[in-house]
Chains A and B, each alone.
Chain A
Amino acid sequence: MPENRPVTEEPRLVVTRPPRRRLRRALALALPVPVIGLVLLVAGGNLLLPLRQVVTIEAKMASKRDFFQDPEVERLLMKHGFRVHITSMGSREIANQDFEGYDVVFPSGQPAADLISRERAEANRPVLLYRPFVSPIVLATYRNYAEALVDAKVASAQPTPAGRPMYYTLEMQKFLHLARGIKKDGDEPRKAGGYRWDEIDPDEEHVRNGNKILAQTSDICESNSAGTYLGLVAFVENQNDAPDDEQEAAKLAQKIKPLLVEQGLPSSERAETYLSPDGQSIAPISVIYEHQFLAHQIRHQAQKGSADDERVLLYPSTRFVTEPQLVALTGDGARLGELVSEDPELQHRAMELGFRARNTNSGGTTGDELTEFLTERHIPVPTTSSDDTRAVLPPLTLLEQMIKIVGDCPDRKGEAK
């Protein structure tokens, strides 16, 4: 089944109201065969569906709509009497805008959720938070580019049982050095403005590209993945430490700004771009979430019988696992939050979509269930080295401050200028 969105036509029909013309046509079609229709309905197990109260949840979310727009998830939710109406925008933007009329907002990471819960608490309208699953931030690329980085001794392939590697470890400090024009640790910058692909691969052995080497993010003012990547870069550039106070944060933000703004005007939807046939031309390295990559490989395997051999992942040697938080603003929202966090079927489906279960992630390894699931499908399983550092994001206010400095972001709503 293609992945385009409006696939779940059955449940939607129950509550959406088709325009009259369609209704009339459908009625004409249906009248001669009422019995067949009814029988099919019973056979489909949906007999009681139209009679049950279906709650439509108004939700705002970013990349985690991948989960809620999955046809199987939609079906499971419908089984429990939920239909989710999604307004799609970046995580930080979700926090920045009004959420009146919404039951649920689901930013892709903790910072935006914290902004929201803090604000609501101040307004004496506390929220409930649910963390149904987690996913690390990764740098998605293509085999040729990964190999160019391996040759430049910036990345190394993870051990792979058979075939070509799908996962690489990216030495973050070395990668950022390239953007600063430094090829070896301890060297002075040799190349003002940083290296270009054709300078680390002059013989075009792997790639033909005159652009600067950098990981492209979506808009830092709007998205959680971009803000998280900023936190990661800041951590690495600050000798594996998060800043402690405003002064330190401001200084660090100025220091890393050149590394993050070189991409110019950011484009939205990194994962969609990455997965598109022209993705490699548009952005050789994109900052996305692991689940977006794994979901693609699982889908590719199911449809084509093998994994996508050209798309590979760079795991930054300094890792950060994002925790999307479902923020329930209403009672119905809380029921939904509880359901997706607790229901075994939904949790299992989340795993099938490449998410890691929250409880099994404590050791930093892939959850056993996900490992098993990938192995069964002959999809390589990413490994985490014990050498890897786990990044710590600065406290919310400092992260916000750094995001604003790096992205020149406008003030949040209601904030004094």
Chain B
Amino acid sequence: MRRRAGLLKAGLLTLCLALVTAVLTACSGGDADEPVRLRVLASPDLAVLTPLLGELKEATGVDLRLDFRPDAETKAPDRARYDLAWLSSDRYLRLTAKSAVQGLQRTATMTSPVVIGLRPDVARKLRAGVPGSRLTWADIADAAATGTVRFGMADPRHSAGGLAALVGVATAAAGTGGALRPGDVSCDRLRGFRSGHTLTADTGPALVDAYADHQDRANALITYESDLLALNATDRLDDRLEVVRPEDGMVLADFPLLLLDASHRAAYAEVTQWLQRDSTQQKIMQRTLRRPVNTTVTRNPQLREPVGNALYFPDQLEVIDALLNDYGDPNRPATDQVVFLLDFSGSMRGDRMAGLREAFADLSGADSTASGKFTRFYRGERLTVIRFGGRVLEEKTVTVTGPKDLKTLAGTVARGGYGDATAVWSALDHGYRTAARELAADPDRSVSLVLMTDGENNAGLAYEDFVRRHQALPAAVRADVPTYPVHFGEADAGELRRAAAQTGGRMVDAADSSLSEAFKEIRGCH
């Protein structure tokens, strides 16, 4: 067919030649001599395709001038400056700059899922602890919290790849099976995961370079499958990364080419047709290790692995904003502190105390559910336990560096020494003084209080006294340190709820579930 086409081509041209000038003009006239030059806003992830642009120009007469911008995927394209946009993903733009990208012609050019590459020793260790060796994002978060996994990931505020990773992990953490809704992200469950984020960059390619150059700073890399495969194919790594596609799902990028200036639709059609050709798709696959969109191209063996289930991507900007806001600047370590105010009055003896100790054990890593893995105590987190009865009985603060610190904490909770009264509001007032001291030492720290009590206040300050003292606190403490009361036993739910409202927190009821569940629900609600 193709050969015949070639001969026909020759035949037709001969015919043209033999005919009068008028016909020749019809064959070659017009402005076709001048290549069409299009300005393309491009994500740095597309730089790897630069060598193909010459062939594209040769075949179609369209000269794509790619302008690589690190913020191409997070800023509305300047349509006066660019004719096309070629991104790894346009999802963020579709949410933020809806009007700027709505209704544009859009062609997917290749695909790649966001997955995680683990150093073989880390992969082995993680797999050994998981039934069926099927790793999930929850397992990764758990391992990040213990310091076992230290990963590199692009800054989700700038890179679509980083954002896809963040959305993927957050969707897995919410565990609803649907697209994230505002209610799912009201609590930040990614603090433990984030504590393992030790290496970052603004773009995908910069992240890959950073990892290759600083292999002592991370033992895992969360990015496009294609980047991991390409990096493994170089000699830049001490240990090749094992590509793991987490069981609970991934987010797929489809590298769309968008037509910004509709007057270039003819050239756009030429370019997209060329890009979707078998031969081009083959070349793109070889060069980028991304998966072809064309179904007829035979894939490299490593690209035949199932991609894993695609997670539904949220369609509400406020969800993305909440995620980005909670995650913050990955260059700055998360410094969180939780002050636990625990009621050690006599009524806590027996089952209730057993429940409390179990709750601490669960938060220290004993809870093997997905939600337990996302909400556990993590490395670098600062934890204070204040035991109280009629007065404060003991106060202990640790910064988690390993199991021994968690053991110290468990010891504090395990020690008996019950009080004979319940001074709820005096204890909370004490907690705020601790918080004020800690905040003064480190103003960037995010501090919250958890107040667990099983009885009504019968000693010390009255609730109104506490409120007065709270209002007299420095503004930063008053505004930024919420209290999460846990309602248990015979405690006064009304007062606890008022205290939560007063401080910007939220009351959780442990009466219907367990202290473990209640603590888990609170965790991360900074």
Write the nearest CB–CB distance from B519 to chain A, whole angstroms: 23
Asked if residues B277 and A4 are in contact (CB atoms below 8 Å), the reply is yes
A41 vs B5: C-alpha distance when bound (angstroms): 10
**Chain B residue with minimal CB distance to A179?**
B178
A7 vs B1: C-alpha distance when bound (angstroms): 9
Asked if residues A9 and B5 are in contact (CB atoms below 8 Å), the reply is yes
User: Which of the residues B11, B61, B266, B309 comes within 8 Å of A210, measured between beta carbons?
Assistant: B309
A44 vs B11: C-alpha distance when bound (angstroms): 11
Report A46-87 CB contacts with B as 1/0, cut-off 8 Å.
100011000000000000000000000000000000000111
**Chain B residue with minimal CB distance to A207?**
B309
**Chain B residue with minimal CB distance to A408?**
B315
A36 vs B247: C-alpha distance when bound (angstroms): 61
A281 vs B245: C-alpha distance when bound (angstroms): 12
Asked if residues A38 and B11 are in contact (CB atoms below 8 Å), the reply is yes
A159 vs B90: C-alpha distance when bound (angstroms): 44
Write the nearest CB–CB distance from A264 to chain B, whole angstroms: 3
Residue A88 at the B interface, CB < 8 A?
Answer: yes
Asked if residues A86 and B269 are in contact (CB atoms below 8 Å), the reply is yes
A18 vs B27: C-alpha distance when bound (angstroms): 8
Asked if residues A6 and B274 are in contact (CB atoms below 8 Å), the reply is yes
**Interface members, chain B 284-323 (any A CB < 8 Å):** 291, 293-296, 299, 304, 306-315
Asked if residues B315 and A41 are in contact (CB atoms below 8 Å), the reply is no
Residue B35 at the A interface, CB < 8 A?
Answer: yes
User: Which of the residues A27, A36, A85, A410 comes within 8 Å of B7, measured between beta carbons?
Assistant: A36
A265 vs B178: C-alpha distance when bound (angstroms): 11
User: Which of the residues A19, A33, A211 comes within 8 Å of B311, measured between beta carbons?
Assistant: A211
A23 vs B13: C-alpha distance when bound (angstroms): 8
Write the nearest CB–CB distance from A171 to chain B, whole angstroms: 22
A15 vs B16: C-alpha distance when bound (angstroms): 12
A89 vs B272: C-alpha distance when bound (angstroms): 14
User: Which of the residues A212, A222, A281, A410 comes within 8 Å of B306, measured between beta carbons?
Assistant: A281
Asked if residues A277 and B304 are in contact (CB atoms below 8 Å), the reply is yes
Asked if residues A27 and B17 are in contact (CB atoms below 8 Å), the reply is yes
Residue A30 at the B interface, CB < 8 A?
Answer: yes
Write the nearest CB–CB distance from A119 to chain B, whole angstroms: 16
Write the nearest CB–CB distance from A2 to chain B, whole angstroms: 5
- Which residues does chain B contribute within 8 Å of A123, judged by CB atoms? none
User: Which of the residues A3, A15, A34 comes within 8 Å of B14, measured between beta carbons?
Assistant: A34
Max chain B Cβ within 10 angstroms of own Cβ: one of A50, A51, A269, A275: A50
- Which residues does chain B contribute within 8 Å of A125, judged by CB atoms? none
Write the nearest CB–CB distance from B104 to chain A, whole angstroms: 8
Write the nearest CB–CB distance from A142 to chain B, whole angstroms: 12
User: Which of the residues B293, B299, B306 comes within 8 Å of A272, measured between beta carbons?
Assistant: B293
User: Which of the residues B17, B26, B179 comes within 8 Å of A30, measured between beta carbons?
Assistant: B17
**Interface members, chain B 1-47 (any A CB < 8 Å):** 1-2, 4-5, 7-18, 23, 26-30, 32-33, 35
Write the nearest CB–CB distance from A185 to chain B, whole angstroms: 23
- Which residues does chain A contribute within 8 Å of B299, judged by CB atoms? 277
Residue B325 at the A interface, CB < 8 A?
Answer: no
- Which residues does chain A contribute within 8 Å of B291, judged by CB atoms? 277-278
**Binding stretch for chain A, among B95-103, B347-355, B390-398, B457-465:** B95-103
- Which residues does chain B contribute within 8 Å of A222, judged by CB atoms? 103
Known: A89-B103, A272-B293. A265 touches B315 (CB 8 A): yes
Write the nearest CB–CB distance from A11 to chain B, whole angstroms: 10
- Which residues does chain A contribute within 8 Å of B17, judged by CB atoms? 27, 30-31, 34
Write the nearest CB–CB distance from A105 to chain B, whole angstroms: 14
Asked if residues B295 and A275 are in contact (CB atoms below 8 Å), the reply is yes
Number of A-B contacts (CB under 8 A): 189
Residue A263 at the B interface, CB < 8 A?
Answer: yes
**Interface members, chain B 41-90 (any A CB < 8 Å):** 61
Asked if residues A20 and B28 are in contact (CB atoms below 8 Å), the reply is yes
Residue B168 at the A interface, CB < 8 A?
Answer: no
Max chain A Cβ within 10 angstroms of own Cβ: one of B9, B13, B23, B311: B13
Residue B249 at the A interface, CB < 8 A?
Answer: yes
**Chain A residue with minimal CB distance to B8?**
A10
Report B105-123 CB contacts with A as 1/0, cut-off 8 Å.
1101001000000000000
**Interface members, chain A 276-314 (any B CB < 8 Å):** 276-278, 280-283
Known: A85-B269, A209-B309, A262-B179. A14 touches B12 (CB 8 A): yes
Known: A18-B28, A96-B103, A277-B299. A41 touches B11 (CB 8 A): yes
Asked if residues A265 and B273 are in contact (CB atoms below 8 Å), the reply is no
- Which residues does chain B contribute within 8 Å of A121, judged by CB atoms? none
**Interface members, chain A 23-39 (any B CB < 8 Å):** 23, 26-27, 29-31, 33-34, 36-38
User: Which of the residues A44, A87, A89, A264 comes within 8 Å of B8, measured between beta carbons?
Assistant: A44
A10 vs B7: C-alpha distance when bound (angstroms): 10
Asked if residues A265 and B179 are in contact (CB atoms below 8 Å), the reply is yes
Write the nearest CB–CB distance from B130 to chain A, whole angstroms: 15
Known: A19-B33, A19-B35. A410 touches B99 (CB 8 A): yes
Residue A17 at the B interface, CB < 8 A?
Answer: yes
- Which residues does chain B contribute within 8 Å of A131, judged by CB atoms? none
Write the nearest CB–CB distance from B437 to chain A, whole angstroms: 43
Residue B158 at the A interface, CB < 8 A?
Answer: no
Asked if residues B177 and A196 are in contact (CB atoms below 8 Å), the reply is yes
A275 vs B277: C-alpha distance when bound (angstroms): 16
**Chain A residue with minimal CB distance to B27?**
A17
Asked if residues B293 and A276 are in contact (CB atoms below 8 Å), the reply is yes
Residue A5 at the B interface, CB < 8 A?
Answer: yes
**Interface members, chain B 336-389 (any A CB < 8 Å):** none
Residue A268 at the B interface, CB < 8 A?
Answer: yes
Asked if residues A26 and B7 are in contact (CB atoms below 8 Å), the reply is no
Residue A126 at the B interface, CB < 8 A?
Answer: no
- Which residues does chain B contribute within 8 Å of A86, judged by CB atoms? 269
- Which residues does chain A contribute within 8 Å of B127, judged by CB atoms? none
- Which residues does chain B contribute within 8 Å of A46, judged by CB atoms? 8
Residue A385 at the B interface, CB < 8 A?
Answer: no
Asked if residues A26 and B307 are in contact (CB atoms below 8 Å), the reply is no
Max chain A Cβ within 10 angstroms of own Cβ: one of B16, B23, B176: B176
Write the nearest CB–CB distance from B21 to chain A, whole angstroms: 15
Asked if residues A278 and B179 are in contact (CB atoms below 8 Å), the reply is no
User: Which of the residues B10, B105, B248, B274 comes within 8 Å of A29, measured between beta carbons?
Assistant: B10
Asked if residues B7 and A40 are in contact (CB atoms below 8 Å), the reply is yes
Residue A13 at the B interface, CB < 8 A?
Answer: yes
Write the nearest CB–CB distance from A259 to chain B, whole angstroms: 11
Asked if residues B102 and A410 are in contact (CB atoms below 8 Å), the reply is yes
Asked if residues A26 and B309 are in contact (CB atoms below 8 Å), the reply is no
Asked if residues B10 and A37 are in contact (CB atoms below 8 Å), the reply is yes
A265 vs B91: C-alpha distance when bound (angstroms): 8
Residue B219 at the A interface, CB < 8 A?
Answer: no
Known: A3-B296, A44-B8. A30 touches B249 (CB 8 A): no
Residue A416 at the B interface, CB < 8 A?
Answer: no
- Which residues does chain B contribute within 8 Å of A211, judged by CB atoms? 177-178, 249, 309, 311-312
- Which residues does chain A contribute within 8 Å of B18, judged by CB atoms? 34
Residue A162 at the B interface, CB < 8 A?
Answer: no
**Chain B residue with minimal CB distance to A97?**
B103
A280 vs B35: C-alpha distance when bound (angstroms): 41
**Chain A residue with minimal CB distance to B268?**
A87
- Which residues does chain A contribute within 8 Å of B309, judged by CB atoms? 208-211, 281
A30 vs B11: C-alpha distance when bound (angstroms): 7
Residues of A at the B interface (CB closer than 8 Å) are 1-7, 9-10, 13-15, 17-20, 23, 26-27, 29-31, 33-34, 36-38, 40-41, 44, 46, 50-51, 85-89, 93, 96-97, 193-194, 196, 208-212, 221-222, 261-269, 272, 275-278, 280-283, 410
**4 interchain residue pairs of minimum CB distance:** A264-B179, A37-B11, A30-B10, A264-B312
In the complex, 29 of the A-B residue pairs with CB atoms within 8 angstroms, ordered by the A residue number, are A1-B1, A5-B273, A20-B32, A23-B28, A26-B10, A30-B17, A37-B13, A37-B14, A38-B14, A86-B269, A87-B105, A89-B103, A97-B103, A193-B177, A193-B178, A196-B177, A208-B247, A210-B175, A211-B249, A221-B102, A261-B315, A264-B314, A264-B315, A265-B91, A265-B314, A267-B254, A272-B293, A276-B293, A410-B98
Q: Other than the known A36-B11, A40-B7, what 6 A-B pairs have Cβ atoms closer than 8 Å?
A: A9-B8, A18-B28, A37-B12, A87-B269, A212-B178, A281-B306
